[in-house]
Amino acid sequence: MESVSNCNRQIENLQEKIKFLYHADKYDLTIKQCISLLEYEPNDYNGLYYMAISYENLKLLDKAITIALYLAEKNPDMGQPYQICAHIYINLKDYKKAVEYARKAIELDPYYGESYYTLSFALDKLGGEENIKKAVKLIDKAMEIEPENSVYHMHACGLYYDIGECYRAKQEGKKAIEIDVEHAGAYLNYGCVLIGLGELHESLECFYEALKLNPNYKVPLDNIKVVKEYIENPKKYYKALEKKFFENDLKINSDSESFIILAKIYIENEDYKSAYEVFMKYFNINPHAIERHLKYIGMFYEKDAFSEVKLYLKALREKNPHEKEIVRYIKEVDKTIRKLKIEKIKEKIESVLIDKMTCLEVWGSSGNSK
């Protein structure tokens, strides 16, 4: 009886040591203690679990997946072993296997946020519009389960940016930093989103902060160089934005409206011609999105850029000749332009009359002086 008690104490001590060593990043020592524990209990969950993830951290992935698969085999009703397998398969770049095991993990334990994150990550890596849209829903679920997990928000930041939802990406990036102010990757992701939103100087601050937190991080240095080039050469920056919005965002997410960001930059600089060209590029892709195009026309209307308004409406009507809403809008624009013309004529008449009255007053004044 005493030997059994001693054996149990030995097992408990080994389990405590293993946890301590693992969280101290001593992966080699963790594995040694796991081997000792498994001599007492060949199928001990903690021994197999910490051995698998220690091998993964040491990049010994073949050993890691062998142990993880054995752990899943011995615990077929638990979700976590399947999630570990999925995570290792991601590092092995076998994303289809990762998807398979992450789905099984969710099936067994639908309240474990890490499995949703892992499946989201794997689908994102597989690529394609449908997979990425699923990845977004999955990371939303992970954040719902664990709202204070900075890694989830950081991943969401990247996903939303990739599908052209830059303002939501900004929100998630900001949240990731609020949760973990010392995570260099969070600042890096957030800085990339700010580039896409036209906030170049703010993005530089993020990249410098990422570099400060991790001086060996090469990516922030590269991004700093790129952003400085954009600041010095805005045309190069605008071309980069256009490429992202039209060659990436719309291909991944056909509903993306991220190109409006570039149009807004042009409109703020009163470069209505360039803004119009951006909208025409989208118009050529999707000429029948009447509601959207009328919204874009409204951006010119608010700035009294009536030349662009009329050109846009003409193109829209040619492609959609039977749409009554376009005809109504054209009538409204014509009415506004006529009103503005009348107001300008009145201003000119009043100006002329004032000039004449001033002349008469001066003439009358000089006559009186005689």
Instruction: Give the C-alpha distances (Å, rounded to integers) separating 238 from 97, 227, 265, 307, 369.
Output: 40, 12, 9, 23, 66
Q: When comparing pLDDT for 162 and 333, which is higher?
A: 162
Residue 326's pLDDT band (cuts 50, 70, 90): confident
pLDDT value of position 84: 97
Range of the domain at 320: 282-363
pLDDT of residue 13: 87
pLDDT at 229 over 80: yes
| Per-residue pLDDT band at 364 (split at 50, 70, 90) | low
Predicted confidence band at 333 (pLDDT cuts at 50, 70, 90)? Answer: confident
Residue 3 confidence (pLDDT): 62
Q: Say if 329 falls within a structural domain.
A: yes
Tell whether 69 is covered by a domain.
Answer: yes
Say yes or no to pLDDT of 349 above 60.
Answer: no
pLDDT computed for residue 327 by the predictor? 84
Q: What is the pLDDT of residue 40?
A: 86
Q: Choose the final residue of a domain: 43, 75, 107.
A: 75
The domain tally of the chain equals 2
Q: Which residue has the tokens 């000089």?
A: 366
Q: Is the pLDDT of residue 206 over 90?
A: yes
Contact 224, 208 (CB under 8 A): yes
Better-predicted residue by pLDDT, 334 or 207 = 207
289 inside domain:
yes
**pLDDT tens figures, 83-104:** 999 999 999 999 999 999 999 9
Mean pLDDT score of the chain:
89
Please say if the pLDDT value at position 370 is more than 80: no
Please indicate, yes or no, if residue 206 is contained in any of the structural domains: no
Of 185-194, 311-320, 322-331, minimum mean pLDDT range: 322-331
> Tell me, what's the pLDDT at 340?
60
**Which of 16-20, 72-76, 258-262, 349-353 is predicted with the least confidence, judged by mean pLDDT?**
349-353
- Out of 2-11, 86-95, 179-188, 337-346, least confident range: 337-346
Mean pLDDT for 164-174 is 95
Query: Which ranges in the chain belong to alpha helices (H)?
Result: 2-23, 27-40, 45-57, 61-74, 79-91, 95-108, 113-126, 129-145, 150-162, 166-179, 184-196, 200-213, 218-232, 234-243, 250-252, 259-268, 272-285, 290-302, 306-319, 324-369
Neighbours of 163 (CB within 10 A): 23
Q: Between the ranges 37-41, 62-66, 237-241, 257-261, where is the mean pLDDT highest?
A: 62-66
Task: Report, as an integer, the average pLDDT of 290-317.
Answer: 90
What is residue 14's predicted lDDT score, i.e. its pLDDT? 87
DSSP 128: S
In a domain, 3, yes or no: yes
Mean pLDDT, range 217-228, rounded to an integer: 94
- Give the predicted TM-score (pTM) of the model: 0.82
CB atoms within 10 A of CB 338: 10
Residue 334 included in any domain: yes
Is there a domain that residue 89 lies in?
Answer: no
CATH code for the domain in which residue 28 is found: 1.25.40.10
pLDDT beyond 80 at 2: no
DSSP state of 303: T
Token look-up 């850029």 returns 305
HEC sequence for 103-127: HHHHHHCCCCHHHHHHHHHHHHHHC
> Would residue 153 count as lying in a domain?
no
The two tokens of residue 208 are 């410098």
More confident residue, 362 or 58: 58
Tokens of 32: 């040694």
Of the given ranges (41-50, 98-107, 345-354), which has the lowest mean pLDDT? 345-354
pLDDT band at 247 (very low <50, low <70, confident <90, very high): confident
**Could you say which of 53, 75, 97 is where a domain stops?**
75
Picking from 51, 75, 99, the residue at the C-terminal end of a domain is: 75
